């Protein structure tokens, strides 16, 4: 596996392709249909409220119910919802009935509650309207044409990565993912790419809350191993996922940084490991860097003139 020596170029890593050394890799950003263990989520919602704030608090409680169901790996019963949110059963029941009536929540055959399909519709609409996605698409298409592999655009959300766009090459062997799917941070290249460039306190907070699940023999399974991998990613400027989420899949990712050089998203190139070989990583990383810089220019995170000046001085 090849490594590139990177220096900072306008918040993005620039590289010297002549500097090569050995590097360990891990993680994969391929969605496999596995259900991942969600972190335990708990919030306190008091029943008593001044009359003038009831409508606002009612919305807060409704969203708290949705958050709770979304974080749970299995449907929850009425008593579980009430206990987790510290509400009376009658209050929790009213909120669940309203949400069920609007198809935000649905009931299973055994009377438990889970998120409803209307939220999926809303999520798809939000993704379609997401400005970053629209601005990134031309650059993702160019990236796919250059690498002949699948490109993903992902964002970070509550300890997981969310796939908000996907462009595929015209090849017979392609990855099985869907826009709107999520995967853990610690075993995906996009997750590690964003985690490595977050402010240190925020990154450490996410790392401490990580609950590890082993998907392959290569999956990172300890906090120390994750911290080591994040440091490698930060140093070389890109993340590599080598069959950690799914065997036979390899992925490289670079974060999109805003004007304050904080990650707002990440772009990855993914493919079967027999095509995305170690020898190809330097070239793929080069294409990814050009892609994310161009996205940043289109989003106004950096001006073309500033990009040229920093490139000339590097």
Predicted confidence at residue 238, as pLDDT, reads 92
The pLDDT assigned to 105 comes to 95
pLDDT value, residue 77: 95
pLDDT value of position 30: 38
pLDDT for 288 equals: 94
Per-residue pLDDT, 302? 65
What pLDDT does residue 40 have?
Answer: 39
Question: 217 is written with which tokens?
Answer: 């023999």
The confidence score (pLDDT) of residue 262 equals 86
Structure pTM?
0.60
At 43 the pLDDT is 41
5-36+123-313 is classed CATH 3.30.450.40: yes
- Ranges of CATH 3.30.450.40 domains, the chain: 5-36+123-313
CATH for the 51-72+75-111 domain, from 1.10.3470, 3.40.50, 1.10.10, 1.20.272: 1.10.10
Q: Is the dihedral of CA 95, 98, 103, 106 positive or negative?
A: positive
CB count, 10 Å around CB of 52? 7
* Residue pLDDT tens, the chain, 314 long: 444 433 344 455 544 333 333 333 333 333 333 434 433 334 444 444 444 444 578 888 899 999 999 888 899 999 999 999 999 999 999 999 999 999 999 999 999 999 998 888 787 666 655 678 888 999 999 999 999 999 999 998 877 898 988 998 876 655 666 777 888 888 889 999 999 999 988 888 888 888 888 888 888 888 888 899 899 999 888 999 888 888 888 999 999 988 788 898 999 999 888 898 889 988 999 999 999 998 888 777 765 555 444 443 33
d(CA 277, CA 173): 15
Number of other residues whose CB lies within 10 A of the CB of residue 4: 22
Give the residue range(s) of CATH 1.10.10 domains in the chain.
51-72+75-111
């Amino acid at each position: 596996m090849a490594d590139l020596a990177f220096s900072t170029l306008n918040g993005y890593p620039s590289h010297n392709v002549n500097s090569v050394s050995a590097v360990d890799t891990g993680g994969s950003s391929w969605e496999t249909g596995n259900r991942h263990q969600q972190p335990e989520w708990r919030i306190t919602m008091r029943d008593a409220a001044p009359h003038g704030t009831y409508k606002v608090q009612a919305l807060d409680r409704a969203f708290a119910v949705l958050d709770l169901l979304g974080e749970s790996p299995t449907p929850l019963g009425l008593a579980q919802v009430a206990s987790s949110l510290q509400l009376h059963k009658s209050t929790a029941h009213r909120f669940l009935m309203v949400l069920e009536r609007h198809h935000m929540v649905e009931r299973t055959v055994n009377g438990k509650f889970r998120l409803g399909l209307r939220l999926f519709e809303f999520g798809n609409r939000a993704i379609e309207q997401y400005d970053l996605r629209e601005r990134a698409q031309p650059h993702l298409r160019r990236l796919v044409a250059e690498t002949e592999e699948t490109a993903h655009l992902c964002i970070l959300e509550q300890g997981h990565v969310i796939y908000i766009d996907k462009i595929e090459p015209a090849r017979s062997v392609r990855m099985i993912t869907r826009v709107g799917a999520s995967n853990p941070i610690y075993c995906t290249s996009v997750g590690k790419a964003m985690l490595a460039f977050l402010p240190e306190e925020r990154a450490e907070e996410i790392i401490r809350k990580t609950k590890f699940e082993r998907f392959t023999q290569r999956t990172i399974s300890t906090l120390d191993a994750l911290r080591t991998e994040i440091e490698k990613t930060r140093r070389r400027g890109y993340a590599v996922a080598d069959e950690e989420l799914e065997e036979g899949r390899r992925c490289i990712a670079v974060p999109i940084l805003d004007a304050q050089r904080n990650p707002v998203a990440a772009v990855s190139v993914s493919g079967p490991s027999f095509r995305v070989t170690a020898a190809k990583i330097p070239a793929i990383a080069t294409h990814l860097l050009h892609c994310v810089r161009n996205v940043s220019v289109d989003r106004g995170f950096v001006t073309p003139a500033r990009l040229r000046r920093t490139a000339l001085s590097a």
